[in-house]
Amino acid sequence: MLPKNNKHFGTHSDRHEYSNKNFPVDISRAMRRIWFAYGDLGYNGTNGERAKSVMQNLRVILDFFEKRFSEQIEKNIQKNSKRTFSH
């Protein structure tokens, strides 16, 4: 898939800068937590608490984009009734 508007993010700082400029603070924060959790989870995903935090933050991000685009992105991830961020 080609990036929209020919934007490429080669570094973490590029992604964070774009996210901070283009999305609400809570969405940007949730995306950072997911990006940083990848290394903490390891390749085999053995850190269950960290994985749970990732899924909670991913739900926040999906809710935001589903509302923005009026399109359901992923129906198999359980929805929370409120936005909560885990550390």
The reply to whether 14 falls in a domain is no
The residue range of the domain holding 75 is: 23-87
pLDDT for the residue numbered 45: 59
pLDDT for the residue numbered 4: 61
The reply to whether 6 falls in a domain is no
* Residue 81 burial (C-beta neighbours within 10 Å; 0-12, 13-18, 19+): exposed
pLDDT for the residue numbered 82: 46
For the chain, the straight-line distance linking the first and the last C-alpha, in angstroms and rounded, comes to 31
pLDDT for the residue numbered 64: 92
How far apart (Å, rounded) are the C-alpha atoms in residues 32 and 26?
Answer: 10
The reply to whether 4 falls in a domain is no
pLDDT for the residue numbered 81: 39
The reply to whether 35 falls in a domain is yes
The reply to whether 7 falls in a domain is no
pLDDT tens, the chain, 87 aa long: 345 666 666 777 888 888 899 999 999 998 888 877 766 666 565 667 777 788 888 888 989 999 998 888 766 555 543 444 444
Note the pTM of the prediction, 2 decimals: 0.52
Total tally of structural domains belonging to the chain: 1
